[in-house]
Structure 1
Amino acid sequence: MALKATIYKAELNIANMDVHQYADFQLTMALHPSETIERLMVRILAYARYADEALEFTKDLFETDEPALWEKDLTGQLVKWIEVGSPDEDKVKKASARCKQVAVITYGSAVDEWYKRNSKLKTLKNVEMWKLSTATTEAIQALCERTMQLQLNVMDGEWTLIGNHAQAVIEWEQLQ
């Protein structure tokens, strides 16, 4: 019998003073049995970076042709494609041809090697790449609970994610 996904819920309040975005989001995510808490929390940060009511978590670990998050317009056409981790170069290239905006949120010790190996990604004009520091991914795991209340404050480029029992400074590095 296959293991089932575990459901996590997060109330995410964003106060981004840099772009004057103030919003509350109710997020429901499934943690796949093969997924780590680290990746789950990175998906929340990816959502926060591109936050929009139309942005949705997908079945990316169940469906390999889907990203971690996507946004579709009212006609069902893909507008945003957001990958988490170190995706296959061909998958990102296909997404780049189908969507106006593609983003990759990377983390982990092998990111620099992955980025060098996938040099064709640098030629894609509508693709953003962000790398999270190891300190960030370690700190955000302490915020994880089955039901979370998270407050994200952004001011002067500094991101702070606050949970019930801890907080984490989010360190982003833009690769592209």
Structure 2
Amino acid sequence: MAIGVVMHTFDVQLADLDRGVYDDLTLRLAQHPSETAAFMVTRLLAYCLEYAEGIAFSEGVAATNAPAVLVRDATGAQTAWIEVGAPDAERLHYGSKLTGHVAVYTHRDPARVLPQWAGKKIHDAENIALTSFDPGFVDAVADAIERRNTVALSVTEGQLYLDVNGTSLTSTLHRHPIA
């Protein structure tokens, strides 16, 4: 593990009513020194919102040919490529050709992220969406994060309800088609 990495533990109660996914998770996230708290929080949210059997965090900044979060089936084949932030078009194209599902979650202003993909070659772009949160939401979550965290995350009708260490927050899940 790199010097300066901060380990965070999250005990998560997940209730995604929109997808019919309910589970209790214990997650350990390593925050690399070059990674902002907002990016780490977005990785956590992406993991929970895409939760499925075989989901895992990649090696992070060390994994140049892997997304932030990925899903593998029982054979080890990747079935989902989940990016965080503002990945370039080539990464989305590669991930889309490799897997059947690509998703992007961002803590940034979607109006500044979406134009970077306009006119670029991205395989199956019409089936890829950028998910963003209400302004200030991710930063508020980041402010509530500690080394050990208790999280209750619920999703219903596109609304995210989150309790982090006793701080209750809510956001609409904004889905933006990239093509």
Contact 2:71 2:79 in 1 (8 A): yes
Q: Tell me, what secondary structure is at the counterpart of 1:3?
A: coil
Instruction: Work out the CA distance in 1 between the residues paired with 2:124 and 2:58.
Output: 26
1:46-125 paired onto structure 2 within 5 Å: 46-109=46-109, 111-119=110-118, 120=120, 121=122, 124-125=125-126
Instruction: Work out the CA distance in 2 between the residues paired with 1:128 and 1:122.
Output: 13
Say what the alpha-carbon RMSD is for the aligned residues. 1.8
Q: For structure 1, which segment, 93-102 or 155-164, has the greater mean C-alpha deviation from structure 2 after superposition?
A: 155-164
In structure 2, the partner of 1:38 is 38
1:152-167 paired onto structure 2 within 5 Å: 152-167=153-168
Q: Tell me, what secondary structure is at the counterpart of 2:62?
A: coil
1:23 aligns with 2:23: yes
Q: For structure 1, which segment, 131-140 or 28-37, has the greater mean C-alpha deviation from structure 2 after superposition?
A: 131-140
Q: Tell me, what secondary structure is at the counterpart of 2:60?
A: coil
Instruction: Work out the CA distance in 2 between the residues paired with 1:125 and 1:80.
Output: 16
Q: Which runs of 5+ in 2 are unaligned?
A: none
Distance of aligned partners of 1:87 and 1:135 in 2 relative to their CA distance in 1, 3 Å threshold? same
1:122, distance to aligned residue in structure 2 (A): 8.8
Number of paired residues? 174
Give CA deviations for 1:74-110 in whole Å, capped at 9, x if unaligned: 221110110000001101101100000011112224x
Q: Which amino acid in the other structure matches residue 146 of structure 2?
A: E
Q: Which amino acid in the other structure matches residue 149 of structure 1?
A: T
Instruction: Work out the CA distance in 1 between the residues paired with 2:64 and 2:157.
Output: 37
Distance of aligned partners of 1:81 and 1:96 in 2 relative to their CA distance in 1, 3 Å threshold? same
TM-score (norm 1): 0.90
1:155, distance to aligned residue in structure 2 (A): 2.5
TM-score (norm 2): 0.88
1:141 aligns with 2:171: no
1:123, distance to aligned residue in structure 2 (A): 5.5
1:157, distance to aligned residue in structure 2 (A): 2.5
Instruction: Work out the CA distance in 1 between the residues paired with 2:21 and 2:124.
Output: 31
Contact 1:84 1:104 in 2 (8 A): yes
Q: For structure 1, which segment, 114-123 or 9-18, has the greater mean C-alpha deviation from structure 2 after superposition?
A: 114-123
Percent of aligned pairs with the same amino acid: 26
Q: Which runs of 5+ in 1 are unaligned?
A: none
